Amino acid sequence: MIPQEIIRRKRDGKTLTAGEIAAFIAGLAKEEITEGQAAAFAMAVFFRGMSRNETVALTRAMRDSGTVLKWDGLARPVADKHSTGGVGDNVSLMLAPVMAACGLAVPMISGRGLGHTGGTLDKLQSIPGYNVMPDERLFRKVVDEIGCAIIGQTSDLAPADRRLYAIRDVTATVESVPLITASILSKKLAAGLGSLVLDVKVGNGAFMESPEEAETLARSLVEVANGAGVRTAALLTDMNEPLADAAGNALEVVNCLDFLAGLKAGTRLETVVLAEAVEMLVQAGIAKDVAEAGSKARLALSSGEAMERFARMVHALGGPADFCERPDAYLEPAPVRMRVTASRDGYLAACETRAVGLAVVELGGGRKRAADAIDHRVGIDGLLPLGAQVSEGEPIATVHAKTREDAERIASEVALFYTIADAAPAPSPVVIGRIA
């Protein structure tokens, strides 16, 4: 196998065979493929695309580049979810313990931030001691005893994807449907799932900005996953504004704790969490219908059991035993806080959501290069939702920064990301559609 010949064929728009794809991915996993070759392959796929058969072959090759877990003997149905990423999208942090409290086993293999989007692992690494890379023994123990474990890809799970994932982040090839499909599903299929729910974001803060693009990706994911034997459905959800009222790693962990404590009722975030919870419970057979599933999920939150599961998971994976009771004792605050204020009276009518995510990256809360370190302290919170009525000088967000210079620069930029109009915008649904 000559890597450059495979790259050339895809560059020229040829259809690759399953054998060619498998050989290239095997070389990537063994580090016989250089970063330059991997980047060229990703760019060729980005521009030329892949057929459905090529995408299936790529997904299987990446899945089979490492260990494929089996959960024989586990009493709970094994299920998971995945989001294609957005700004303030911390749903996984809350959904996993809610599902564990409802009787599912959720072995969640998550990733780091890509481009302007935050990564679940980066958020969890805000918590001192939290081990996102446990060995398989500990991973299985936590899933079995607690019901959920949110971790990263170990060296044994889809190693080819781990390498390609980092390269896509810094080569502007994130938005490729075949690469997204193979990346997401290789990890999920390697985790040994029985069912899967996908959250495909659409809007100006998503990788897929148009409904048509998002539906194309959702159908690709659903068809490939179901074809591989995993019951899968996808929700299309709005990302034309930050989902949570916080964007930034430690800030989103705090937001998660507030959510589990019942302080985010009635928000767009709650709508998405509950919609995905319902899908997971019905697919896995834990609930017979949507109404029963919704009741179970709400009870897991109101009873405090979801919070308890989150606390136990954090401690079992190396975090503080009292983290949920005393997060301020463990989450280091940013040195500088600065309010972003409304420039006039009116209603928040639109948001440049991608720009908000990139502002967090500029603060140090994301990566410009694969090797960059994350500053977990920084970010933006207090983000008001679209439709909120504001007065001139009223705070619409707060920037958390490591220097005053950073805070002043980003605060002035964020103020420009929001359009203030005389009339409130028409309300838009956060769950746009479903594909199964």
Which of 295, 327, 359 delimits the end of a domain?
A: 327
> What is the edge-to-edge ordering of all strands in the sheet holding 379-381?
246-247, 379-381, 395-401, 336-341
pLDDT of residue 389: 98
Residue 129, domain extent: 79-327
The model scores a pTM over 0.75: yes
Domains of the chain: total: 3
- Tell whether 278 and 362 lie within a shared domain: no
The catalytically annotated residue of 76, 82, 162, 309 is 82
The catalytically annotated residue of 112, 123, 162, 187 is 187
Which of 280, 306, 327 delimits the end of a domain?
A: 327
The catalytically annotated residue of 92, 120, 237, 398 is 120
CB 249 within 8 A of CB 376: yes
Q: Is 187 a catalytic residue?
A: yes
The catalytically annotated residue of 60, 76, 81, 296 is 81
pLDDT of residue 105: 97
Q: The domain that contains 12 carries what CATH number?
A: 1.20.970.10
Which of 311, 327, 343 delimits the end of a domain?
A: 327
74 in any annotated domain = no
Q: The domain that contains 161 carries what CATH number?
A: 3.40.1030.10
Q: Is 82 a catalytic residue?
A: yes
433 in any annotated domain = no
426 in any annotated domain = no
pLDDT of residue 394: 97
Nearest to 252 by CA among 427, 434, 83: 83
The catalytically annotated residue of 63, 76, 162, 188 is 188
- Tell whether 312 and 342 lie within a shared domain: no
- Tell whether 229 and 296 lie within a shared domain: yes
Q: Is 80 a catalytic residue?
A: yes
pLDDT of residue 172: 87
| Residue whose tokens read 């009873």 | 303
- Tell whether 338 and 279 lie within a shared domain: no
Q: Is 315 a catalytic residue?
A: no
Nearest to 260 by CA among 325, 316, 321, 329: 325
Q: The domain that contains 376 carries what CATH number?
A: 3.90.1170.30
Kindly report the backbone phi and psi dihedral angles of residue 394, in degrees, each rounded to the nearest multiple of 5, phi listed first: -80, 140
Distance CA(108)–CA(157), nearest Å, equals: 12
286 in any annotated domain = yes
pLDDT of residue 113: 64
pLDDT of residue 370: 66
pLDDT of residue 419: 97
pLDDT of residue 367: 75
How many C-beta atoms surround the C-beta of residue 135 within 10 A?
12
- Tell whether 228 and 286 lie within a shared domain: yes
The catalytically annotated residue of 55, 83, 117, 154 is 83
Q: Is 76 a catalytic residue?
A: no
- Tell whether 265 and 282 lie within a shared domain: yes
pLDDT of residue 254: 98
Distance CA(66)–CA(229), nearest Å, equals: 19
The catalytically annotated residue of 64, 65, 80, 123 is 80
How many C-beta atoms surround the C-beta of residue 356 within 10 A?
26
pLDDT of residue 227: 81
161 in any annotated domain = yes
Consecutive 10-residue averages of pLDDT for the chain (436 residues):
93 96 95 94 96 91 92 92 92 98 94 73 95 93 97 84 85 88 89 94 90 92 88 96 96 98 97 98 96 98 98 98 97 97 97 96 83 89 97 97 97 97 95 94
- Tell whether 83 and 212 lie within a shared domain: yes
- Tell whether 385 and 275 lie within a shared domain: no
181 in any annotated domain = yes
- Tell whether 353 and 276 lie within a shared domain: no
- Tell whether 340 and 251 lie within a shared domain: no
409 in any annotated domain = yes
- Tell whether 263 and 301 lie within a shared domain: yes
- Tell whether 197 and 243 lie within a shared domain: yes
Q: Give me Rg for the CA atoms of the chain.
A: 21
The catalytically annotated residue of 60, 116, 162, 168 is 168
382 in any annotated domain = yes
- Where b means 16+ CB within 10 Å and e means fewer, 408-427 reads ebbbebbbebbebeeeeeee
pLDDT of residue 40: 97
Q: Is 156 a catalytic residue?
A: no
Q: Is 312 a catalytic residue?
A: no
